[in-house]
Each structure stands twice: as structure tokens, then as C-alpha cells.
Chain A
Amino acid sequence: MHELSIALSIVEIAEEEVKKAGGTQVEQIVLEIGSLASIEEEALAFAWQEAVKQTVLEKAIYVIQNTAGRAVCLACKREFELSFMYDLCPFCGDFRKELMQGKELRIKSLIII
């Protein structure tokens, strides 16, 4: 379950940012998670409870913004949305594509108090 490492990394970054800002805790954290990022939101929620104990994130509300997967077909050069990494180009059926979006795993913003 890599979601625990992910949650711990988020705590580490939040601690650093709160210290930099001279605050005491985080009221809200917005995470951007791509639909192809291999993050199980339920597993993250479970890991979160443990990871944030006695940290600046203990009382924070977390908001997840999902980013859809997007790719450009290398055969017909058209862009398309994909739900799965193995999706074929819906226009020409080719399997060769370049992912443009969907693997994000970012802290977008924090409200520090």
C-alpha cells in the first residue's frame, strides 16, 4: 500500500510549508490526483487517518481534485480522453499514444492558520 508513503510525504511537505509560513496548522489541503496516477482514494483515506495524527494536518479538511487522463494519438495526432491506460485511440484505433495528463499527484494549495 504505497498510499501510506504518499500520505507521509504529504505530511512532510505540509509540516515544512506551515513552518515556513509561521503558522500552526493546516485548515484545508487541496490535492490533485490524476485518474491514471495509481492512487486508490479509499486506501489514501485510510492511510491519511494514521499519517496525520499529531501533525499540522490532524484537523485539516482534504479536498481531492481529479484530473482526467488525456493523450495524443501518435498515429492520427488527435487528442482524446482516456479512462484506462490501455485505451485505444477512439478515432483511429491505434495503440500508440503519448500521455499528456492524468498522472498528477500534487498538493495544489493549503490554507494555513
Chain B
Amino acid sequence: MCTTCGCSSDEPANMAQPGLQAKPLSVAGPPQKQFHLLERDVLQKNHHDAAHNRQHFEKSDVLAINLVSSPGSGKTTLLEKTILALKDEISFYVIEGDQQTMLDANRIEATGAPVIQINTGKGCHLDAAMVHEALHTMQPARHSILMIENVGNLVCPALFDLGEKYRVVTMSVTEGDDKPLKYPNMFESADICVINKVDLLPYVDFNLEKSKEHALRVNHKLKFFELSATKGDGMANWLNWLRLEHAGIPV
């Protein structure tokens, strides 16, 4: 490699003398240093796997949704209530991501929806390859909804596209209304923001308008649903949105 400019060439140099045919020059020496300009995205493999999943979902008309949030925001309850409310109209399939245990998968199984639990062990997020593998075990039927409940973590899952159509971030009113400012990447990468546990608003110091303002500052395209998965307030709008998306009617 040229130490001045860092250029490198795999082509052997050619030496020519008038009257003689040019011959490649080979010089034996210490191992060559090679400079490689790569510009490769570190997450390239995940992007590739996610694109593959996305293509598969589109081809089989499966609406894939990636549910993300901090632990305890009520994702699993929202999922249970959603499936129970819509199961006569829509087939649901669920992938559950947790570091340990089958607890969430057992709760979902009780709703009657097919479910696969992925335990990430020390891992803090699902990636597209894990979802791909789960799809080989559980093949969602055509025209169904696949709910992927990610590991409860507002940081790491933000970086890993799973091939979903929509990323839904849930925050609950028992958390601070500054969550979107503290964990901007998750809110920036989401399409929908569910504000859960609104039935507790009278008892907590959570400013609903402020929380939305904060979320919009990191992502002005976010669409909000304010609801209480346990009490049912606001669930109708969320369920209706799912119905329309499932029917392929853009909202």
C-alpha cells in the first residue's frame, strides 16, 4: 500500500523497455498491507434478513407489527385484549420475545392464538434472523396479522428492523412523559405510539399533551392511540385501525 495516500492496487506493475515485451514485475517481500475502503453498514445482514421477511409478509398478505416498549408498559395485556376482541374476524399469530421464561407465551396461548416464544438469553432485542427462524416453525396463514412482541427495552430494539410493516411503541402514563426525549431512537423509528393505562391519569403526574409534544419532537409523523388495555377506554379506535389495516384500507 502507498503510505502517502493509502492507495492500493491488486494489479502487478508492468515494466517495459523498448524492444522487449512488457513483463509483470514480481518482488518477494514482507506481507503486503492492503487498504480496503468498505463503507459497509454494520447492520447490513439484519437489513438483508428484514427485507427478506418483509417480502415474505407482503407475498403472503400478512400484516406484521413490531410491538416495542419499556418493560411493564402493558404490551402483553394490549396484545391479549386485542386478540380476544378481534379473534372472530382476524387470525392472529404471535411471536413473543423475552430474555427468559414462557410466561408471556402462556398468556397468549390462553387467547387461542398460535404463539412462539423466543428467549434471547443475554440478548436485549429480537433481530430479523430470529423472526425468520420462528416463521419456519409457525407459518402464519394468508391474510392474517403477525404480532411480534419485542423484548421490553426502549433502547436496543430500535436498531433492528424485523421486516414489520408498522412499529408500535407503547408508553404508559405510569412512566414519565419525557420518555420520548430520553429514548429518542425508539420513538423516531416507530410509526404508531400507544399511550396506555390512561385510566390512571387522575392518579399520576403525567401530562398527556406534553408526552405527545415530546414524541412529535423526535418524530412528527407519529400517530397516537390513547387507551387503557385493562379497562377498555380508547380500545375501539385502536381495534378499528387494525381492522382497516388488515383489510388493506389505508388510514
Contact = CB atoms under 8 A, between A and B. Distances in A.
Interface in A16-42: 17, 21, 23-24, 27, 31, 36, 38
Interface of B: 1, 31-46, 123-125, 127, 155-156, 158-160, 180-181, 184-185, 188, 214, 216-218, 220
A27 B33 CA distance: 9
A86 B217 contact: yes
Given A2-B155, A95-B217, A111 B34 contact: yes
Q: Would you call the interface of chain A mostly helix, strand, loop, or mixed?
A: mixed
Nearest to A16: B40
Contact of A9 (B35, B42, B125, B217): B42
Nearest to A1: B124
Contacts of B127: 5
Nearest to B32: A113
Contact of A85 (B35, B38, B42, B184): B184
With most chain A CB atoms within 10 A of its CB, the pick from B42, B123, B125 is: B42
A107 B159 contact: no
Contact of B36 (A36, A38, A96, A109): A109
Contacts of A9: 42-43, 45-46
12 contacts: A2-B155, A13-B42, A36-B184, A38-B158, A38-B159, A74-B220, A85-B217, A88-B217, A95-B220, A105-B41, A105-B42, A111-B33
Contact of B156 (A1, A74, A113): A1
Summarize B's interface: helix, strand, loop or mixed: mixed
Interface in A76-113: 84-86, 88, 95-97, 99, 105-113
A12 interface: yes
B220 A84 contact: no
A106 B42 CA distance: 5
A43 B108 CA distance: 35
A9 B47 CA distance: 12
A6 to B, nearest CB: 6
Contacts of A95: 216-217, 220
